[in-house]
């Protein structure tokens, strides 16, 4: 069975939903969006606090890393979204963009057209900001961007504590200046999650030229005579071929996109041959250059009910649900990580190199246990890791999970900076303004003192910040996977548009930049096809 569309988009995540919506604005072309996961029907996808359940398996592929050589062979859960809207449906909704210098570095690496002034209009194009309207922000776009509606008094105390260490308050960390602590804006509208499925796709679905299919897992890209002509989907009885008359656009993320390319015979020839995949194009960099933020944290016991921990109990969960239903406030309206900031640990760093997240509870994410009494978490992540990892195949079966090796701390510099970040968050939590709220430090705790202690603690407790990028690197050099118009080198009719194209990891959360990439890609495609 063969069906034809002008554009076939593989992956209905943060990028894919945006692309489908923007491309289908042109009624003269037909667009198909394919998503392996299901619809975002579950209430936990809608309410901000649902994030706490997401890292624990809802809407996820259930991946994990290979043993991390430089983390005492630790295996880390690696949540990757499997639901329409992708990461934007299951993340903590934090709206940050990275630093201006991140994009200037992209440009300096040969990615002309991707400097800060080039990408800023696309950030603004998406936004419907409930607070700011200026050269950095706009109103009227599809994506709800809002101030938190459920902070707690401990958040203000955290700002004061950071101030004692010389860290200023910043009311807009996605504006003129990234430095400081403050409330993150969130991808929310009216206290509901504003995923790209909700913000972009829901209204676009009404268009007759857009088809959206969930539960549609692509097995490979079909290439004939050096051109991508469509995709192959797994069917119950027969293989289904969907043809793309103009382009196949791969938007399956930093794990899914290189995985599908390799399953299609596009990748490092020696690796493909070793797992029984026929080589279509020897492209050594596919699946290489994997970068991610590694997260460390301190957990403190509170002196009272200063966090949202108690609402994990059934009685209080019901109370919180009622409060949310009536007022759109309280724990259910919280992303739980809506307070944070950016600061420095390396002398001479060109911009903030540590990101902070204040978690309004303990045991929020998978692999971290809740403490007995109410607690609060302060996370830190080193923002510009030098380590590079890989995505590889186990075999040629599309149903087999890939081998994920972020290769954390391959470069000892990453380890040093990460531990300095951990010590910084410990110091913040010890400051006078937090003493009415914080009873004691539980983790790392007083037993962690020496460099060896800190290293072992970090190896045992580190987790991903869910920011993988770079595995289909963009560049102007011939070895890059895609060019600066995101066309795959060596295969016509094939483009990649998602976080995998980032040449270097940006200094923040990656969801807003991924949406920006999709917005810009849509314009590029319109230009290339004169649509």
Active-site residues, by number, are 467
Domain holding 218, by residue range, is 2-529
In a 10 Å sphere around its CB, with 0-12 CB exposed, 13-18 middle and 19+ buried, how is residue 34 labelled?
Answer: buried
Query: What's the pLDDT tens digit per position in 310-347?
Result: 988 888 889 988 999 899 999 898 989 999 999 999 99
Query: Cβ(526)–Cβ(280) under 8 Å?
Result: no
Distance from C-alpha of 13 to C-alpha of 89, rounded to nearest angstrom: 8
CA distances from residue 530 to 29, 100, 229, 524 in whole angstroms, order as listed:
12, 31, 20, 10
The pLDDT of residue 365 is: 76
Least confident of 32-36, 52-56, 114-118, 461-465: 52-56
**What was the pLDDT predicted at 11?**
98
Six-digit token pair at 421?
């970040």
Q: Give the model's confidence band at 52: pLDDT under 50 very low, under 70 low, under 90 confident, else very high.
A: confident
369 pLDDT tier (thresholds 50, 70, 90):
confident
- Domains contained in the chain, number: 1
pLDDT tens for residues 128-186? 999 999 999 999 999 999 999 989 999 999 999 999 999 999 999 999 999 999 999 99
Contacts 24+ apart (CB under 8 A), 448-452: 451/419
pLDDT higher than 80, residue 449: yes
Burial 283-319 (b: 16+ CB within 10 A, else e): bebbbbbbbbbbbbbbbbbbeeebbbbbbbeeeeeee
pTM of the model: 0.97
Is the pLDDT confidence value at 56 over 70?
Answer: no
**Helical axes 116-126 vs 100-108, angle rounded to 10°:** 130
HEC secondary structure over 268-294: CHHHHHHCCCCCCEECCCCCCCEECCE
2's CB contacts (< 8 A; 6+ apart) are 230, 240, 241, 242, 243
What's the CATH number where 378 sits?
3.50.50.60
**Residue 19: band (very low, low, confident or very high) from pLDDT cuts 50, 70, 90:** very high
- Identify the residue with better confidence: 237 or 280: 280
Peptide bond into 444 cis (omega under 30): yes
Beta carbons of 5 and 23 less than 8 angstroms apart: no
Q: Where residue 370 falls among pLDDT bands split at 50, 70, 90?
A: confident
Cα–Cα distances in Å, from 496 out to 50, 123, 179, 517? 30, 19, 32, 10
Task: Say if residue 53's pLDDT is above 80.
Answer: no
């Amino acid at each position: 069975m063969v069906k034809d569309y002008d554009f076939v988009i593989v992956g209905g995540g943060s990028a894919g939903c945006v692309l489908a919506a923007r491309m289908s604005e042109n009624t003269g072309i037909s667009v198909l969006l394919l998503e392996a996961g299901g619809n975002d029907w579950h209430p936990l996808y809608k309410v901000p606090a649902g994030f706490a359940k997401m890292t624990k398996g809802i809407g996820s592929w259930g991946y994990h890393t290979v043993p991390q050589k430089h983390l005492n062979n630790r295996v880390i859960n690696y949540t990757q979204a499997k639901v329409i809207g992708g990461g934007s449906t299951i993340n903590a909704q934090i709206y940050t963009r990275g630093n201006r210098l991140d994009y200037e570095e992209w440009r300096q690496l040969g990615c002309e057209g991707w400097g800060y002034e080039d990408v800023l209009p696309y950030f603004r194009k998406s936004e419907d900001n409930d607070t700011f309207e200026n050269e950095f922000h706009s109103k009227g776009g599809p994506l709800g961007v809002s101030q938190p509606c459920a902070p707690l008094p401990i958040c203000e105390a955290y700002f004061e504590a950071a101030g004692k260490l010389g860290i200023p308050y910043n009311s807009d960390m996605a504006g003129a200046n990234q430095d400081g602590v403050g409330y993150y804006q969130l991808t929310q509208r009216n206290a509901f999650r504003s995923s790209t499925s909700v913000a972009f796709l829901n209204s676009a679905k009404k268009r007759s030229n857009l088809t959206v299919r969930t539960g549609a897992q692509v097995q490979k890209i079909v290439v004939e005579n050096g051109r991508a002509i469509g995709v192959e989907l797994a069917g119950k009885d027969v293989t289904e071929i969907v043809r793309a008359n103009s382009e196949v656009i791969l938007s399956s993320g930093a794990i899914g996109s290189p995985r599908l390319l390799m399953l299609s015979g596009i990748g490092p020839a020696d690796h493909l041959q070793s797992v029984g995949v026929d080589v279509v194009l020897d492209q050594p960099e596919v699946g290489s250059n994997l970068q991610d933020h590694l997260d460390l944290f301190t957990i403190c016991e509170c002196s009272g009910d200063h966090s949202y921990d108690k609402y994990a109990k059934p009685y209080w969960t019901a109370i919180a649900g009622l409060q949310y239903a009536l007022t759109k406030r309280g724990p259910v309206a919280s992303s739980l990580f809506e307070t944070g900031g950016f600061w420095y640990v390396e002398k001479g760093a060109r911009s903030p190199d540590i990101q902070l997240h204040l978690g309004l509870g303990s045991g929020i994410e998978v692999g971290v246990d809740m403490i007995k009494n109410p607690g609060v978490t302060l996370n830190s992540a080193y923002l510009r890791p030098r380590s590079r990892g890989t995505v590889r195949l186990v075999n040629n079966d599309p149903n087999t999970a890939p081998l994920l090796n972020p290769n954390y701390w391959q470069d000892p510099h990453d380890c040093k900076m990460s531990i300095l970040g951990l010590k910084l968050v410990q110091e913040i939590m010890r400051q006078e303004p937090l003493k009415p709220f914080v009873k004691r430090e539980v983790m790392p705790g007083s037993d962690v003192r020496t460099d060896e202690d800190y290293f072992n603690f970090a190896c045992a407790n580190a987790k991903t910040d869910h920011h993988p990028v770079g595995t289909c690197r963009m560049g102007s050099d011939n070895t890059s996977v895609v060019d600066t118009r995101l066309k795959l080198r060596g295969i016509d009719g094939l483009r990649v548009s998602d976080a995998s194209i980032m040449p270097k990891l940006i200094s923040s959360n990656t969801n807003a930049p991924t949406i920006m990439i999709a917005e810009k890609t849509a314009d590029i495609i319109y230009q290339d096809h004169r649509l």
